[in-house]
Amino acid sequence: MVGPLRPVFVLFGSSIVQYSFSNGGWGAILADVYARKADILLRGYTGWNSRRALQVVDKIFPKDAAVQPSLIIVYFGGNDSIGPHPSGLGPHVPLPEYTENMSRIADHLKSLSEKTRIIFLTCPPINEELLRQSTSAALSEIVRTNETCQRYSEACIKLCNDMDVKAIDLWTAIQKQDDWANICFTDGIHLSSAGSRIVAEEILKVLKEAEWEPSLHWKSLPTEFGEDSPYDLRVEPSRKRKS
């Protein structure tokens, strides 16, 4: 650990989380917004589904940790919603099991601390045509549609409403963007910088509007070593003399 201690925000999920610090990703946007205010930690795992996440959630978020996160942002569902593979392998998780897995993940995260806040991200939409054109052997075999993404998204929202967990409906939010199918993805599934901006904006909106004490919105958090520095050339001389 390094000090001073700041609030810790953990991003936990599959590839949309793992890639969130690349190419103007939403994790990088949050890290920039919260510079000197909170530490943004990445726990993203490409290819994971809710079943795999549930198996290790207690290892990633141990209950006996000395410091618990102030905020955990969770995304699983996209891989779960992929159609079953003929081999019987693959990431598909039936919708009832997905709902149960996410409920158990939420229960564990809620148990970490009374001050740990949770936001679930739902499945975003996909560009089915772009996905079909993918040159990736793995992606080209995927059976995934916007219809199934919507079903898993709606199930996540209902679960969050029942459990009093904040949910961000990415399936709807991204489709509000003009020409969303062409500008929000790199390969039909993973987010471009334009798609990531929408995710970051939705997260910041929730953090601003949430009636949490203390507030986790960036404007409400103190800036670490926020006093003027006599070595900073941007500070006016008169202000330096006062310090």
Catalytic residues: 14, 187, 190
Angle value at C-alpha 183, between 180 and 188, nearest 5 degrees: 85
Determine the Cα–Cα distance for residues 7 and 38; give it in Å rounded to an integer: 5
Identify whether the C-beta of residue 74 lies closer than 8 Å to the C-beta of residue 45.
Answer: no
Determine the Cα–Cα distance for residues 31 and 24; give it in Å rounded to an integer: 11
Strand runs labelled E in the chain: 8-13, 39-44, 71-75, 117-121, 166-168
Determine the Cα–Cα distance for residues 51 and 132; give it in Å rounded to an integer: 26
Determine the Cα–Cα distance for residues 111 and 121; give it in Å rounded to an integer: 20
Residue 75, strand partner residues = 13, 121
The residue behind tokens 């081999």 is 87
